Amino acid sequence: MKKKKKREVRSRLISFLFTLPSLFFFSLALLIPFVMGLNIAFTDWNGIAKEYHYVWFDNFIKIFSDSRIVNPVKNTVVYALLTVVFNNVVPLGLALLFTGIRGKAGNICRLVVFVPCCLSGVLSAFVWKFIYRFVLSALTGLSSPLGSTFWVLPGIMLIALWNGCGINMLIYYAALKNVPSDLYEAALIDGAGRLQLFRNVTIPMIMPAFTICVTLGFTNGLKEFGMVMSATGGGPARTSETISMYIYNNLYTYSKAGYGQAISLVFLLVLVVTGNLMTGFFRKREVDM
Amino acid sequence: MNFGKAKKRETRILLILGLLVVLIFLFPFYIAIVQSFKTQLETAYNALALPGAFRLDNYYEAVEKISFSTSLKNSLIVTVTGVLLIVLCSSMSGYAIARNEGGYFKVLDRLFLSSIMVPFQVIMIPAYKLLKSLGLLNHLAGEIVMLVGISVAYSSFLYVGFVKSIPMELEDAARIDGCSRFQTFWVIVFPLLKPITATTAALHAMWLWNDFNISLIVLQKDAVRTLTIKQFYFFSEYASDYNMAFAAAMIGMIPILVTFLFLQKYLVSGITSGAVKG
């Protein structure tokens, strides 16, 4: 009995050793910075100086009276909503279309839509900036949406859509393929029309895919940074500056690292709450098979 | 009979729509390729037209200006080392978490899972401070540590799910035959994890190669910049010379597109099994 216990302890000890390499990198990149961040958020550190003072909750209170933060918050919410709508409607539409195309042609379609996903936001933004500026004007006479204070966010969203919608398309495609065909047949025998079929059979059956794509889409939309940085850098006149960029600017442009860190913690709280609420909302609507 | 005819027409309409989608998605690639061979005059005259002649001048100039070999080398070092470390670390930790219950392993599992939600901006400022104090700022090693660190949680999570689906009998048998725990893992278990290793490696190769956030913070000196971040600065610097910039863009695209063709099977299976993160 004692021997068995000893072996058990030894086995868990070896397992513990197995987790150490991961824990080492995880601590350096995430755990330690996260704890340090909790500390920085209560200081007036400027990002460079060796010295700083504790200002306690001043940074957090300041967020609510900061007039400069209103714009980024508004932009971030608008951008996330645009993304979540278009980056679900378009991929679902494409997935539905591709399930109707059989054989090699269908494979090629899916491959082509997925290809842009392996390009960086930097590259995508560069190519599309050119298209907006020169090709769009040559074809339609319109000027680049990235120069307009109203169209800049939809313009960036469209680049992100081209760059990323292949991922959601694949998730929806896989979900659609998994709907058992006898469900459709049964509904057809019952005299269901196409629209009814889609609403009452397809949608409930692919609910898990919605849960993933909508929740991740919205939280990722809220986090958007790289694409905006590459496409506009926040312009024109800060109309595309997102909250992520505002945090970045507080460190590198405004030298207010402590304040930036405080915003990021509030931001994290919002993300976690929103993500959980949305997952809960969709999970309730999933059907068990 | 009539039904069959309608079906055939529908198939044809879907095919045409599919072709249209393909053309729309390929259009930006066409634009990029065409500009990279044209002269500035040709682009100014008509951005859509094909080049008058097949010239490589833009490419020669771009390779020279972007210090291509240095940034390519940096990108390769970061991606290859990063992916190797991610696979090594997370296969081991994923295995340990999957095969042990309660206590430390449960806490670690929860810790890893909740860290996936943390946006980069939360750790950006302190990570910068930490790397600076460790002397790892502007070093590829610092970049690799950061990339591996923010990836191991998620990739461990992928491994946990997979390990749970394979039976323990083989490991028990190996243990009885006198294999140590370490040997059992590398000789018996690791080869069984091949499918999830391929998926993890493919997804992370793509993410590491394209990383923008961490490179922007960690790699602030020209000599250590990876291709992606180098291009970010390059595009704003040479904003007026579009043709050369497009040649530079093509140079950045080709390695990733070629790799993609080899890895697409694993990427697709990874994504469709729910392996997506922000």
Question: Highest mean pLDDT range out of A246-250, B5-9, B83-87, B249-253?
Answer: B83-87
Nearest neighbour of B119 by CB, restricted to A98, A260, A268:
A268
* Assigned token pair, B202: 């493919």
Question: Over 90: is that where the pLDDT of B266 sits?
Answer: no
Calculate the dihedral angle through the C-alpha atoms of A111, A117, A122, A127, rounding to the nearest 10 degrees: 30
User: Contact B124/A251, CB-based, under 8 Å?
Assistant: yes
User: Contact B268/A170, CB-based, under 8 Å?
Assistant: yes
pLDDT reported for residue B167:
85
Question: Over 60: is that where the pLDDT of A289 sits?
Answer: no
Which residue out of B117, B122, B217 would a mutagenesis test of the A interface target, given it has the greatest number of A Cβ atoms within 10 Å? B122
- What is the Cα–Cα distance from A144 to A34, expressed in whole angstroms? 40
Compute the count of residue pairs across chains A and B with CB atoms less than 8 Å apart.
256
Question: Over 90: is that where the pLDDT of A32 sits?
Answer: yes
Question: Over 50: is that where the pLDDT of B230 sits?
Answer: yes
A131 touches chain B (CB under 8 A): yes
Question: Over 80: is that where the pLDDT of A183 sits?
Answer: yes
CA distances to A131, A136, B252 from B35, in Å: 11, 15, 15
CA-based nearest distance A191→chain B, Å = 16
Question: Highest mean pLDDT range out of A142-156, B43-57, B250-264?
Answer: A142-156
Report chain A residues whose CB lies below 8 A from the CB of B257.
115, 118
A19 touches chain B (CB under 8 A): yes
- Alpha-carbon Rg for chain A, nearest whole angstrom, is 24
**Residue-level length of chain B:** 278
Nearest C-alpha neighbor of B200 from the set B90, B93, B76: B90
CA-based nearest distance B71→chain A, Å = 15
Q: What is the mean pLDDT of chain A?
A: 89
Q: What is the DSSP string of A82-101?
A: HHHHHHHHHHHHHHHHHHTS
pLDDT reported for residue B3:
62
A216 touches chain B (CB under 8 A): yes
Question: Over 90: is that where the pLDDT of B108 sits?
Answer: yes
Using the 8-state DSSP alphabet, how is residue A43 labeled? B
pLDDT reported for residue A2:
67
Question: How does pLDDT run across A108-137, given as a tens digit for each residue?
Answer: 999 999 999 989 999 999 999 999 988 888
Farthest CA pair distance, chain B: 77
A106 touches chain B (CB under 8 A): yes
CA-based nearest distance B38→chain A, Å = 14
CA-based nearest distance A102→chain B, Å = 9
Report chain B residues whose CB lies below 8 A from the CB of A47.
125, 128
CA-based nearest distance B187→chain A, Å = 15
Mean pLDDT lowest among A84-88, A220-224, B23-27: A220-224
pLDDT reported for residue B276:
58
pLDDT reported for residue A188:
85
pLDDT reported for residue B40:
82
CB A11 within 8 A of CB B99: no
If you search the block for the tokens 């460190």, which residue do you land on? A251
Domain boundaries, chain A: 61-283
Q: Which residue of B has its CA nearest to A176?
A: B272
- Place A194 in a pLDDT band, splitting at 50, 70 and 90: confident
pLDDT reported for residue B278:
43
Question: How does pLDDT run across B127-162, given as a tens digit for each residue?
Answer: 998 999 999 999 999 999 999 999 999 999 889 988
CB atoms within 10 A of CB B121: 27
Report chain A residues whose CB lies below 8 A from the CB of B18.
97-98, 101, 105-106, 109
Domains of chain B: 2-55 (no CATH), 63-272 (1.10.3720.10)
Interface of A with B in 252-271 (CB under 8 A): 257, 260-261, 264-265, 267-268, 271
Question: Over 60: is that where the pLDDT of A190 sits?
Answer: yes
CA-based nearest distance B53→chain A, Å = 21
A229 touches chain B (CB under 8 A): yes
- Mean pLDDT across A146-154: 91
Sign of the Cα torsion B86, B276, B266, A113 reads negative
Question: How does pLDDT run across B33-81, given as a tens digit for each residue?
Answer: 999 998 888 887 787 888 877 788 888 888 887 777 888 899 999 999 9
Rounded to 5°, angle at Cα A114 from B15 and B277: 140
CA-based nearest distance A220→chain B, Å = 6
User: Contact A212/B213, CB-based, under 8 Å?
Assistant: no
Coil, strand or helix at B63: helix
Tell whether omega for the bond before A236 is within 30 degrees of 0, i.e. cis. yes
pLDDT reported for residue B277:
53
Report chain B residues whose CB lies below 8 A from the CB of A223.
119-121, 278
Question: Over 60: is that where the pLDDT of A152 sits?
Answer: yes
ipTM higher than the 0.85 cut: yes
User: Contact B125/A170, CB-based, under 8 Å?
Assistant: no
pLDDT reported for residue A288:
61
What residue spans of chain A are helical by DSSP H?
2-26, 32-40, 58-63, 70-99, 103-114, 121-130, 136-140, 152-177, 181-189, 194-197, 203-205, 207-223, 226-231, 243-252, 257-283
Calculate the dihedral angle through the C-alpha atoms of B141, B144, B150, B151, rounding to the nearest 10 degrees: -150
The CATH class, in words, for A61-283 is: mainly alpha
Nearest C-alpha neighbor of A288 from the set A208, A222, A228: A208
User: Contact B146/A29, CB-based, under 8 Å?
Assistant: yes
pLDDT reported for residue B273:
72
- Mean pLDDT across B190-204: 91
Q: Which residue of B has its CA nearest to A20?
A: B93
Q: Which residue of A has its CA nearest to B17?
A: A97
CA-based nearest distance A145→chain B, Å = 17
- Place A78 in a pLDDT band, splitting at 50, 70 and 90: very high
